[in-house]
Structure 1
Amino acid sequence: MTGRLALATVTLALAAVLAGCAAPSDDVAHAPRTLLVPPPMPSGATIAPPAPSTAPEPSCGDPTASLRPLPADSAVPTPSVDRIRERGRLVVGLDTSSNLFSFRDPATGSIVGFDVEIAREVARDLFGDPDRIEYHLLTSADRVQSLVDRSVDIVVKTMTINCERRQTIAFSTVYFEAGQRVLALKGSGIRGIGDLGGRRVCAVAGTTNLHRVQALAPDATVLSVPGWADCLVVMQQRQVDAVTSDDAILAGLAAQDPNLELVGPRLSVEPYGIGVNQADTDLVRQVNATLDRIRGDGTWQRIHNRWLAPLGPAPAPPTPRYED
């Protein structure tokens, strides 16, 4: 190859390389970029306003004391129970966001859980058939009003018995005892309520948990949501640092995400009762008769072992207390 031919060949090769390094075409220059959009908050989520300064909770003696079941041969009128039997079904208020207690079975779509089984036992004693139930889905904030306006007969929804609520509605005896704790991401450094200052914490509107975390961790920002499943969503989206609720509810959330753990000691004792309209005293006694039966015949332990296994072996059922 001559010198001139070699030089020409090198020049053409260099031009080709430079052409390959030219500015990108319009198609490449204007290709869409991937943007990271923050995930949306659940519907109804809001930052809870500071807790108002209120008078101390009213006193009612022992709020867990309820009405004694009527003897089987009692002649006392039972208008509320008669009304339900005539209708042919028991109307029960609960939700489907409390894993372990009341939730939809993903395989069947049926509403199942510990609270559901308790309600089914009430229906069994009313009708001889546990399936004679109509479920109304409620948020925690709607529980009391749904009983006052009689849109439901009973509420079986991880509902804590306290004196404030007993001013408006009646309760059965205690059917389960829980306690408020904190749920956090493993390795987060959060070990209890004392580590929530300056953090974002999720709690459900209308619960005793929300007001207690505001009192115990006043520097925390509390995100109020309609249901406990919403707390799991915002936790997984890293929109909050922790969730606070009853340990039994938090165990249901942790069972759905192995990255979460319960931390710290109990902050309270939360006795769960079945809510009833205050005027329906005969229905309260009927419900308490069912609870007495399932405590004594092993049904309560069987239901606990089936649905609340993440909490450990079934303890003895709560001892009933009566006011009459």
Structure 2
Amino acid sequence: MRSRHFVRTAVLAAVAVLATACGSPATPVDLAPVSDAAWPQPANVGGPDDSAGGDTDTSCDPLKSLAPTSGTTIGTGTTMAAIRGRGKLIAGVDQTTYLFGFRNPKSGNLEGFDIDMVNQIAAAIFGQAEGHVQFRAIPSLQREQVLVDHQVDVVVRTYSITCDRRKQVQFSSVYYVAGQKILVPKTSNATSLADFSGKKVCATKKSTSLTKIATDPAKPVAVSVDNWSDCLVMLQQGQVAAVSTDDTILAGMAAQDPTVKVVGDPLTQENYGIGVPKDQEDMVRFVNGVLDQVRSSGAWAASYQNWVGSRLGPAQPPSPQYR
């Protein structure tokens, strides 16, 4: 009996020593203390140096495009004939801007006002758009480069027409007019950029919106990202105080997140055009012929009402200006 008692006592003592070495249940050992759990930033976050889309160059009349010469007739040897022979219209678009260019999570298809414009061009070339469009999702900072490099036939991506951009690419007539506003949390009382002196305001790289933020007299801190969805995430996480860009883009963000709101009067007027490679004047005239039909047939009004009307109110297609 005494021997058994001695062994039992020894075993219990050993267990107690091991338990003590592992730490008391009441005082757990903290092997990895965390003092800062900041949200990770999106890739390629920058600053005002990424502002290269501004409209400070007034050396041209940016809104005057090339007049259509033969409607949507496709002649032999034209750019449009080459596209028809290829079987696909290649279009640079957005896939992250709700209402204008976004991927429907249910169908996987790209949808939105800009996507409707691409489909109208494809239908004019091929007779129907289905099966004849190759969408290429691009960030805003690549819009000029993919046209310069002839990687796409058109860019339809909330693309504001400016004299500076016209030095590198051609533009169609204006197919949509937007205005730069501000997106803030619903708890914010801010209504203009003047309320963000020294505070971070987000926009995409090489956008006219970023230029406006970076040059505003109130001196907000311009934060640049690749895509507008990155701005919304940074606002939601408190990494920026506001997002500022076209009301069309902000309306899509507000529709996705009920905790934010669009505020203020328009800071600028943004005239959207369809980008075309610089050396393809025949394609510019063809696209303008398509846009003339889109305006007069009611297709523009139907697309606007479907995507934007309930959020931004009534609107009419802008009248084209030709040189």
- Normalising by the residue count of structure 1, what TM-score does the alignment of the two structures yield? 0.86
Following superposition of structure 1 onto structure 2, how do residues 1-324 of structure 1 map, counting pairs within 5 Å? 26-30=24-28, 32=30, 35=34, 37-49=37-49, 56-60=56-60, 62-71=61-70, 79-131=78-130, 132-217=132-217, 219-323=219-323
> Matched residues in 2 for 1:174 and 1:72: separation?
17
Q: CA deviation at 1:309?
A: 3.1
What letter is aligned with 1:205?
K
CA deviations 1:48-90 (Å, max 9, x no partner) are 34979x9951411x21111111225979765211111110110
Structure 2 CA distance for partners of 1:50 and 1:64, relative to 1, 3 Å: closer
Partner of 2:224, secondary structure, is strand
The Cα of 1:175 is off from its aligned counterpart by 0.5
Distance in 2 (alpha carbons) for counterparts of 1:41 and 1:209: 20
Unaligned runs of 5+ in 1: 1-23
Distance 1:55 1:248 in 2: 19
Structure 2 distance, partners of 1:312, 1:166, is 29
Change (3 A) 1:56 1:264: closer
User: Match of 2:171, as an amino acid?
Assistant: F
- Pick which of 70-79 and 298-307 moved more: 70-79
Cα distance in 2 between the residues matched to 1:148 and 1:260: 37
RMSD: 2.3
* Count of paired positions: 298
SS at the partner of 2:125? helix
Q: Percent identity?
A: 36
CA distance in structure 1 between the aligned counterparts of 2:138 and 2:112, rounded to whole angstroms: 16
Q: Distance in 1 between matches of 2:169 and 2:183?
A: 30
| TM-score, normalised relative to structure 2 | 0.86
Contact 1:102–1:112 (Cα < 8 Å) also in 2 = yes
1:206 and 1:39 mapped to 2: Cα distance? 25
Write the distance in 1 (CA, Å) between the matches of 2:72 and 2:127.
18
Question: Per the alignment, do residues 73 and 117 of structure 1 end up closer, same or farther by CA in structure 2, a change over 3 Å counting?
Answer: closer
Q: Distance in 1 between matches of 2:99 and 2:51?
A: 30
Using the alignment, how far apart are the partners of 2:178 and 2:55 within structure 1?
Answer: 25
Alignment-mate amino acid for residue 105 of structure 1: N
The gaps in structure 2 that reach 5 residues or longer are 1-21
Greater C-alpha Rg: 1
The answer as to whether partners of 2:71 and 2:286 remain within 8 angstroms in 1 is no
Q: What one-letter code is carried by the residue in structure 2 that aligns with 1:302?
A: A
Distance 1:68 1:259, change over 3 A: same
Give the structure 1 partner of residue 12 of structure 2.
none
**Does the CA-based 8 Å contact 1:94-1:138 persist in structure 2?**
yes
Residues in 2 aligned to 1:154 and 1:56: alpha-carbon distance in whole angstroms: 25
Quote how far apart the aligned CAs of 1:102 are.
0.3
Q: Contact 1:178–1:271 at 8 Å: present in 2 too?
A: yes
Q: Secondary structure at the match of 2:117?
A: helix
- Counterpart CA distance in 2 for 1:55 and 1:233 is 27
What does the per-residue CA deviation read over 1:91-141, in whole Å, with 9 as the maximum and x for residues that have no partner? 000111111100011111111110001100000000011121001111111
Change (3 A) 1:282 1:77: farther
CA offset at residue 239 of structure 1?
Answer: 0.5
Deviations 1:3-36 (A, max 9, x none): xxxxxxxxxxxxxxxxxxxxx9623312558846
Contact 2:71/2:290 (<8 A) preserved: no
